[in-house]
Chains A and B, each alone.
Chain A
């Protein structure tokens, strides 16, 4: 079942939660609605579910307009952020609720409901907790029960509101994998809301980045990370280092820092965005860049070493005025960077935003060290 969102607007008092949002959710895919709080992602999810009504616009499931259809009749699965399990019912009663609520004619016989509940309990690996009450379960268990309850009536659409928001890191990772498998097995059309970029990129087939009631960008996770369309998406998806300055004669300058940007015709203000893994650290400036930085902190935890540096004689954009560079453990063992050392950042790939273009130009210095050039994406 595809979901079509067409020109949805929603206003709460003076607050514009959604601003003419249009979106296509492909069938059988897992789509993430990603954005900071207040970006309208949960409101959009609730409007798709029918828990909230839009001020204007239409929602269609497989081309059929459901805007006026009551949430009760939309046959969707919805998983709430805080599980919303019925606290006075056992786990088994919770899971059976949707089936018990079917109109008499469609309702399966008691024995079959019981069988279905048992199957679902097997699936969520909690058959031994069938007679427990929600208050006796851990967060991860509650979330699995909530999922089982939402798919008991075999909906075609599964909507999840911050499904792993309240869980600790370890449980969250397990449940993510589990949800992915579940999705692949049942072929729902799923949408989940999250503010966690890692979760969105890891779990989904398609990411919708939202900001202030607007859709900023829609793309596959890998594409989205590699080619953000806007400054907002860049900032929101992962750590980024920014050199903001003025371009003169193909060179971006700020203070005593500069980077050559070959082939650029633009003169005036521009910002260069660099991912931590798109920068090397050297002990001396190179031909195409002079970015002196002093090491503030070195963190060895993780698959790569994270080095935090403070600009020396210039300033980074952002309140913390810190650049972050990721280097391999091998590199770390070779160079042994320590706090207080002076290093020079060497950009390999960068993304240049100018005032006149809304989309960035990708600059690749590493591709051909001798002949760098500007390549425009799209």
Chain B
């Protein structure tokens, strides 16, 4: 009788033992791999008090690393915003031979290890590389200076915006834009008043991800930057340098800054997602009302 009673309230696969076991494993893994390490960063950084943290962060080289990292992100994000939007527009609004191939190629930076990407840039644009040697004749140096760092960061982060936009723009189709053209709107007006509002939140999401990656990129940047303290050292590279110098507190102080940026990014991402679902839900409830 008990069995028949409980089976009335239970769906297939909804066994309490399995359910709580899975929840337990998930929580344990999240704690061990994600939450505890994150907390350790802040605990270690603050271990010697706020004063030491402030001292470490206002260290001349750390300040330079922060500045360079923000500078690289400030160049990378707008570049990839424009590039990603243009690319998404191209592959969703036009039909041309090689379109499918292009969509696949967008993912290359995800598929290739960042270190390999850095090496490729070094080989191509370095002083002995094909392009680099030619540029050297004009006294231009890309590698081991900030342009190189920006270049590899752009490469590593270029799929984020396009990847967010393509599925959305595919799903929305081009009918609204066609309606705009028929009604006599110029291309710029169509983009500004029809396309942009429709993709706004996906675009913001893409930018948030791009920014997070641009700030945190290590592998590719470490190959092309040359790790020159006070010149080409970004924050993630600086963390490694400090750590190798046995300046553990300093390393954790810089790391806590990166982790802080990550937490902030997640908060923004959560807000954007919440905004999107809220708009959807509101529209749906009003539709049924």
**A residues within 8 Å of B by Cβ?**
49, 51, 71-73, 75-78, 80, 82, 84-89, 97-98, 101-102, 133, 135-136, 149-150, 153
Contact between chains at A101 and B185 (CB < 8 Å): yes
Contact between chains at B175 and A84 (CB < 8 Å): yes
- Contact mask B247-289 → A, CB, 8 Å, 1/0? 0000000000000000000000000000000000001101100
Complex: A51 Cα to B287 Cα, angstroms: 32
Contact between chains at A49 and B182 (CB < 8 Å): yes
Assess whether B51 is interfacial by the CB under 8 Å rule: no
Assess whether B178 is interfacial by the CB under 8 Å rule: yes
Contact between chains at A97 and B185 (CB < 8 Å): yes
Contact between chains at A78 and B175 (CB < 8 Å): no
Of B178, B183, B286, B287, the residue contacting A149 (CB under 8 A) is B183
Please name all residues of chain B whose beta carbon is closer than 8 Å to the beta carbon of A84 when the two chains form the complex.
Answer: 175-176, 178-179
Q: A102-B184, A133-B283, A136-B283 are in contact. Are A82 and B175 (CB under 8 A)?
A: yes
5 A-B pairs (CB sep. < 8 Å): A77-B182, A80-B175, A84-B175, A98-B183, A135-B283
Contact between chains at B184 and A72 (CB < 8 Å): yes
Complex: A76 Cα to B178 Cα, angstroms: 13
Complex: A85 Cα to B172 Cα, angstroms: 12
Which applies to chain B's interface (DSSP): helix, strand, loop or mixed?
Answer: helix
Please name all residues of chain B whose beta carbon is closer than 8 Å to the beta carbon of A87 when the two chains form the complex.
Answer: 176, 198
Contact between chains at B178 and A51 (CB < 8 Å): yes
User: In the complex, what's the smallest C-beta–C-beta distance from B127 to chain A, in angstroms?
Assistant: 49
Please name all residues of chain B whose beta carbon is closer than 8 Å to the beta carbon of A71 when the two chains form the complex.
Answer: 181-182
Assess whether B194 is interfacial by the CB under 8 Å rule: yes
Please give the number of chain B residues whose Cβ is less than 8 angstroms from any Cβ of chain A in the complex: 20
Nearest first, the 7 A-B pairs at minimum CB distance are: A84-B175, A88-B197, A98-B183, A101-B185, A84-B179, A135-B283, A78-B182
Assess whether B180 is interfacial by the CB under 8 Å rule: yes
Complex: A334 Cα to B100 Cα, angstroms: 67
User: In the complex, what's the smallest C-beta–C-beta distance from B99 to chain A, in angstroms?
Assistant: 13
User: In the complex, what's the smallest C-beta–C-beta distance from A377 to chain B, in angstroms?
Assistant: 41
Contact between chains at B286 and A75 (CB < 8 Å): no
Complex: A125 Cα to B177 Cα, angstroms: 26
User: In the complex, what's the smallest C-beta–C-beta distance from B186 to chain A, in angstroms?
Assistant: 8
Of B175, B176, B184, B197, the residue contacting A101 (CB under 8 A) is B184
User: In the complex, what's the smallest C-beta–C-beta distance from B191 to chain A, in angstroms?
Assistant: 13
Please name all residues of chain B whose beta carbon is closer than 8 Å to the beta carbon of A51 when the two chains form the complex.
Answer: 178, 181-182
Contact between chains at A97 and B283 (CB < 8 Å): no
Complex: A309 Cα to B237 Cα, angstroms: 84
Contact between chains at A86 and B179 (CB < 8 Å): yes
B189 nearest CB neighbor, chain A only: A101
Please name all residues of chain A whose beta carbon is closer than 8 Å to the beta carbon of B189 when the two chains form the complex.
Answer: 101
Complex: A136 Cα to B283 Cα, angstroms: 6
Please name all residues of chain A whose beta carbon is closer than 8 Å to the beta carbon of B286 when the two chains form the complex.
Answer: 135-136
Complex: A280 Cα to B284 Cα, angstroms: 53
A46 nearest CB neighbor, chain B only: B178
A103 nearest CB neighbor, chain B only: B184
Complex: A122 Cα to B283 Cα, angstroms: 25
Complex: A40 Cα to B95 Cα, angstroms: 19
Complex: A89 Cα to B179 Cα, angstroms: 13
Contact between chains at A98 and B283 (CB < 8 Å): no
Complex: A98 Cα to B186 Cα, angstroms: 11
Please name all residues of chain A whose beta carbon is closer than 8 Å to the beta carbon of B183 when the two chains form the complex.
Answer: 97-98, 101, 149-150, 153
A70 nearest CB neighbor, chain B only: B181
Please name all residues of chain A whose beta carbon is closer than 8 Å to the beta carbon of B197 when the two chains form the complex.
Answer: 88
Interface centre among A72, A77, A82 (most CB of B within 10 A): A72
Please name all residues of chain B whose beta carbon is closer than 8 Å to the beta carbon of A135 when the two chains form the complex.
Answer: 283-284, 286-287
Q: A72-B182, A136-B283 are in contact. List 9 more A-B contacts (CB 8 A).
A: A51-B182, A71-B181, A77-B182, A84-B175, A86-B176, A97-B193, A101-B186, A136-B287, A153-B184
Please name all residues of chain A whose beta carbon is closer than 8 Å to the beta carbon of B175 when the two chains form the complex.
Answer: 80, 82, 84
Of A76, A78, A82, A86, the residue contacting B194 (CB under 8 A) is A86
Complex: A173 Cα to B175 Cα, angstroms: 25
Please name all residues of chain B whose beta carbon is closer than 8 Å to the beta carbon of A78 when the two chains form the complex.
Answer: 178-179, 182
Complex: A85 Cα to B197 Cα, angstroms: 13
Complex: A86 Cα to B286 Cα, angstroms: 18
Please name all residues of chain A whose beta carbon is closer than 8 Å to the beta carbon of B179 when the two chains form the complex.
Answer: 78, 80, 84-86, 149
Complex: A149 Cα to B181 Cα, angstroms: 13
A98 nearest CB neighbor, chain B only: B183
Of A75, A80, A89, A136, the residue contacting B184 (CB under 8 A) is A75
Please name all residues of chain B whose beta carbon is closer than 8 Å to the beta carbon of A73 when the two chains form the complex.
Answer: 184
Of A72, A75, A89, the residue contacting B181 (CB under 8 A) is A72
A87 nearest CB neighbor, chain B only: B198
B185 nearest CB neighbor, chain A only: A101
Complex: A59 Cα to B42 Cα, angstroms: 71
Complex: A101 Cα to B283 Cα, angstroms: 27
Complex: A314 Cα to B127 Cα, angstroms: 88
Complex: A97 Cα to B182 Cα, angstroms: 11
Please name all residues of chain A whose beta carbon is closer than 8 Å to the beta carbon of B176 when the two chains form the complex.
Answer: 84-87
Please name all residues of chain B whose beta carbon is closer than 8 Å to the beta carbon of A85 when the two chains form the complex.
Answer: 176, 179
Q: A101-B184, A101-B189, A102-B184 are in contact. Are A80 and B178 (CB under 8 A)?
A: yes
User: In the complex, what's the smallest C-beta–C-beta distance from B72 to chain A, in angstroms?
Assistant: 34
